[in-house]
Structure 1
Amino acid sequence: MTIRTRCGAWLATLLLLASSASLQANTPDDQLIVGMNMNNLLTLDPAAMTGNEVVGMVVNLYDGLVELDPQQLTHVRPALAESWDISPDNSTLTFRLRDGVRFHSGNALTSADALWSMRRVLHLNLAQASVWKSYGFSKANVDQAIVAPDARTLVIRLPKPNDPHLVLYSLAALGSMVVLDSKTVQAHAVNNDWGNRWLTTHAAGSGPFRLDGWQAKDVLTMSRAPDYWRGAAKMQRVVFRHLQESQTLRLMMEKGDLDIASNMAIPDVRALRDDPDLSIDSVQRGTIYYLAMSMKDAHFANPKVREALRYLVDYQGINKTLMAGYGVLHQRPIQSGMPATLPDPGYRLDIARARALLAEAGYPDGFDTTLRVLADQPFLNVAIAIQSTLMQAGIRARIITGTGNQIYGAMRDRQFGLLVGRGGSGVEPHPHSSLRSLVYNPDNADSARLTNFQGWRTSFYDAQLNRMIDQALTERDAAKQQQAYFAIQQRYDQLIPALMPISQMVDSVVVNNRVQAYQPHPSATTFLRDVWKTPESLAGGTP
């Protein structure tokens, strides 16, 4: 079937689906219909993608070497790699790839494809290169660091000391190092772009589903890939529909026009809790909601001012009244639930103490500043609450709202005062995942452009803290490593950082009870290959 014919069939199916849904108010038994806000879906290229939404699509179009068990995140499961070894000195990972896997094109998948895919991430040096650069990989060394001695063997030599388990977690959780069909992608390369332009709207994987088509801010469909090496996916087709308004998602879930809805406003999620046909799946992610300040601003370069702000946030009130369903109280840079995470320090709103600290800093009457925030919930309500308590100490913060590019763009350019945001990776089940994103800043120069590091964005820099993070990562004694992470959190707290954690993210997904075996993944790598639906004509049916 030609691409044009496939697209025509795809559009015809969508029209049929839309018309049947309006009459029957239920989705087809063999199709999974997902509603979500896809405003942040800008590319399907695994090397360039940003945001959790696209990760959930990429991992169903492609396969990685390994994957994380959604119910036990520290359990690394085989995928394309049927086995792997870590060298005694922790410097080398060797993967043995399974035989007989083919891409959707029909091309055989070999270690040469895995090698090319990994090198591609560093050579392109787009969004997904940041984590791997923090591990010491670069465009200059990646061709020597990653090699394929034969068709089924891939060897990764770490350019600098690291914890190989963290590298395994990154391979499993980030989606950036999935294996691409190198022959197909190279056939579509233009001006040595490694196929980046083509992969923006196309896919070349070996996953359980193949891409049918994507219309930006409209719809993306994928269909069951024939001869998938794990066995055929249960669903014939998965359709992702762009629905920006939460109330629209709610109405369509109530009518049975959607099987799954994500990105819903919490009031709409709550309104569906008593619907007997629906369930709410909540999963806690490692991402942190925070108040950030720029130390390039003279006010916030003063540690007394930063300490004053520590007592000008009503953490308990915000989490109780504004964050229910969005997040849970958390005041540490390392995500909760890990043995290495210290208990919260227990900071609370204390206006009198904050006023005294501002007076000591030379601002007895406060000062004027700006507070940037996304024009979405819960961000905006959190910013309004913080604006109110800042005002009680004399800090007059003018709220500036905007899109992600406008708000976080100013942060990446280090041109902001205060900012309410969300970040911190926390994707990998390892303390370094959070510290790398929120704290670590190996080079504070403007020219370094370490834009994926929140520490660099806020100009927060401490050489000793960086060394402690580096040393903890390579500590091979588990008990000593845990103590090292305790010490890092204590020093970070003592330094009065430019980023104050407020809450840890909770993601709520509404699911029709016909949907079976759907398991939201804490790292956003939600696998759909085993999902099936109870037939509409049966009660408690089987696939």
Structure 2
Amino acid sequence: MKKLLVLLAALATMALILSACSESSAEGGEDAAKEVNLLFNFATNSLDPHVDTSYVPLRAGIAETLVYLNDETLEIEPWLAESWSSEDGQNWTFKLREDVTFQNGKPMDGEAVKASLERAMTDNIAIKNALRIESIAVEGPELTITTTMPFPEFPSELVHPNTSIIDVSETDFINKPIGTGPFAVASFTPGTAVDLVRFEGYWDGAAKLEKARFSFNEDANARSLALESKGADIVFRPEVETVEQLEAIDGVTVESTSTFRVHQMTMNLQRESLKDVHVRQAIDALIDRDMIAETILSGHAEVATGPFPSSFSFAPDYPEKKRGIDEARKLLEQAGYTEQDGVMQKDGEPLTWTLLTYSARADLPLIAQVFQSDAGQLGIEVVIEQIEIPEEHMAANRDWDLTTYSNLTAPRGDAGYYLNATYHPDGALNFSGADDNKLTAMIDELNQVVGQEQRSDIAEEIASYVDEQMYNSFVLHPNTLVAYNSDKVKNWTTTRSEYYMLTNELDVE
């Protein structure tokens, strides 16, 4: 019955997609516009670039940031900002491009950029904490930005999608933000799709596509079916089990690219049982990473020993750990737990965990189920709770113990972003509630260091300390899977940062 319901839901989704496509073709006839439909795995109900956690405005080419991340060199490069400089790491001068206009024809000048950044900090406390801006002054095409403290890595924070520059005098941020990107919003149906049209005045050359659709479906199987039936041209994260089937289709290309992402077990350090490091270590020991990588991800992943992929200079050589159910039992015994009548307990209270997960990343619920099964062998009840938007839920609720969560850990080629966001008390992604004075001091020291070699050394020390304390447990580094109709789609690039998708260079036959 369950399989039948899933199939019916997928067929219903396909019917809607195909209906939309047939209507588009009928309207355009032989002169149909050059367009693509990209099907993404996260739905959004808002296009507000400053708060949208799915980063759709940047990914869909609606908005842009001052600074761009080069996916190959992992270095930041000019984008809307032409250049930047600082003599002391606290007072920064940014020179803006002078040939950029918003999609409503207004110039992107210093005052507009200042207003956009200030609005981002007002509406998104995480961005305010990340940027640490004390003041912004404008003189012609130049911005003088002063941070609250010396912050040598400040420009890299401006890669973040929530710092996208928009015209804040146009106030329908949710449905039609006005950015500087190659595509303007034609219409937006929350939770379904945003339809886009080419912005003819784009500063870097008008897009090759006339139209585009950035649509959403959190069902991985439905995304795969959409590509098979040509209801979508590009599918982000198709179901892993369908990869071989998709690769066998004439004209379909599947790309599996390593990323800066980690699947982790986020721990709520405010929960009584998780205040004990031995319990946290037991959770880590229970996770069968090799099995998960091979069965759930079909090998499209690297087993994680920490938050950063092993290729980064700031990824430590972690000490070998004992793993498995027997090791987890020993660690729990050190925390005062005993297994009685098949129930793990302490002081007569059974050990029970609430584990959050979400379906937008299809492998996370499966990881949760594997963990639930293994914990059950120790007499631990794990109650799995499905949520929709993990960041919002974890921030607003503290009645959970664990969350299978996926996060970009080094999207700018540097450890500072993840360590600040995840472990600093003011961090935007500090859902664990980590508040460790020693750890905070180490992160503050990192924030004031410029040289990459020294930064890597400090970051390595921090990552080792996090491992000792087991503030989170890291499962694997998944590859990004993208499948697309390569007979039609040209110039598609699967990026490691996952930030840049619909570009002015994307084209169709």
The correspondence for 2:144, drawn from 122, 142, 155, is 155
2:59 maps to 56
The correspondence for 1:175, drawn from 161, 184, 195, is 161
Deviation at 1:403, TM superposition (A): 2.1
Distance 1:53 1:96 in 2: 27
- Is it true that 1:428 corresponds to 2:428 in the alignment? no
The correspondence for 2:377, drawn from 392, 416, 423, is 392
**Contact between 2:368 and 2:384, CA under 8 Å: does it hold in 1?**
no
Distance 1:169 1:336 in 2: 22
Secondary structure of the corresponding residue to residue 358 of structure 1? helix
1:453 maps to 429
Distance 1:245 1:480 in 2: 43
Distance 1:503 1:299 in 2: 25
The correspondence for 2:248, drawn from 274, 292, 304, is 274
2:38 maps to 34
- Is it true that 1:311 corresponds to 2:285 in the alignment? yes
- Is it true that 1:437 corresponds to 2:441 in the alignment? no
CA change 1:326–1:378 in 2 (3 A) is farther
- Is it true that 1:98 corresponds to 2:97 in the alignment? yes
Q: 1:2-81 alignment to 2 at 5 Å? A: 17-19=21-23, 30-39=34-43, 41-57=44-60, 60-74=61-75, 76-81=76-81
Secondary structure of the corresponding residue to residue 434 of structure 1? helix
**Contact between 2:409 and 2:415, CA under 8 Å: does it hold in 1?**
no
- Is it true that 1:417 corresponds to 2:407 in the alignment? no
**Root mean square deviation of aligned Cα:** 2.8
| Residues 179-226 of structure 1: per-residue CA shift (max 9 Å, x gap) | 2224x42xxxxxxxxx3xx21001212221111011123331111112
Question: Identity over the aligned pairs, expressed in percent?
Answer: 20
1:211 maps to 185
Letter in 2 for 1:92: N
Secondary structure of the corresponding residue to residue 225 of structure 2? helix
Superposed structure 1 runs of 4+ greater than 6 Å apart: 22-27
Deviation at 1:317, TM superposition (A): 1.7
**Contact between 1:333 and 1:438, CA under 8 Å: does it hold in 2?**
no
Secondary structure of the corresponding residue to residue 163 of structure 2? coil
The correspondence for 1:515, drawn from 448, 472, 489, is 489
1:373 maps to 356
**Contact between 2:376 and 2:382, CA under 8 Å: does it hold in 1?**
no
1:239 maps to 213
| Residues 418-467 of structure 1: per-residue CA shift (max 9 Å, x gap) | 3322235533221011212332235xxxxxxx6x333xx32333211111
**Contact between 2:352 and 2:381, CA under 8 Å: does it hold in 1?**
yes
Distance 1:219 1:305 in 2: 43
Deviation at 1:392, TM superposition (A): 2.9
**Contact between 1:27 and 1:259, CA under 8 Å: does it hold in 2?**
no
Distance 1:317 1:473 in 2: 37
The correspondence for 2:471, drawn from 478, 494, 498, is 498
1:190 maps to none
**Contact between 1:53 and 1:524, CA under 8 Å: does it hold in 2?**
no
| Residues 57-106 of structure 1: per-residue CA shift (max 9 Å, x gap) | 2xx112322212222221x2322222222x22222221222223222222
Distance 1:523 1:296 in 2: 31
Distance 2:405 2:31 in 1: 36
The correspondence for 1:130, drawn from 105, 126, 138, is 126
**Contact between 2:130 and 2:157, CA under 8 Å: does it hold in 1?**
no
CA change 1:491–1:88 in 2 (3 A) is same
Deviation at 1:374, TM superposition (A): 2.3
Secondary structure of the corresponding residue to residue 438 of structure 1? helix
Secondary structure of the corresponding residue to residue 73 of structure 1? coil
Q: Could you state the TM-score of these two structures normalised by the residue count of structure 2?
A: 0.86
1:524 maps to 498
**Contact between 1:259 and 1:511, CA under 8 Å: does it hold in 2?**
yes
CA change 1:490–1:398 in 2 (3 A) is closer
**Contact between 1:423 and 1:438, CA under 8 Å: does it hold in 2?**
no
CA change 1:369–1:512 in 2 (3 A) is same
**Contact between 2:45 and 2:191, CA under 8 Å: does it hold in 1?**
no
CA change 1:45–1:77 in 2 (3 A) is same
The correspondence for 1:333, drawn from 307, 310, 314, is 307
CA change 1:253–1:21 in 2 (3 A) is farther
| Residues 459-514 of structure 1: per-residue CA shift (max 9 Å, x gap) | 3332111111111221234333222222212222222x231111123221111112
The correspondence for 1:489, drawn from 463, 467, 474, is 463
Secondary structure of the corresponding residue to residue 93 of structure 1? strand
CA change 1:393–1:236 in 2 (3 A) is same
**Contact between 1:293 and 1:499, CA under 8 Å: does it hold in 2?**
yes
Bigger drift between 421-430 and 307-316 goes to 421-430
Deviation at 1:53, TM superposition (A): 4.1
Q: Could you state the TM-score of these two structures normalised by the residue count of structure 1?
A: 0.81
Letter in 2 for 1:130: A
Letter in 1 for 2:292: I
Deviation at 1:293, TM superposition (A): 2.7
**Contact between 2:292 and 2:367, CA under 8 Å: does it hold in 1?**
yes
Letter in 2 for 1:453: L
Structure 2 gap ranges (5+): 1-17, 346-350
2:83 maps to 83
Distance 1:169 1:441 in 2: 20
Letter in 2 for 1:146: I
Deviation at 1:52, TM superposition (A): 4.2
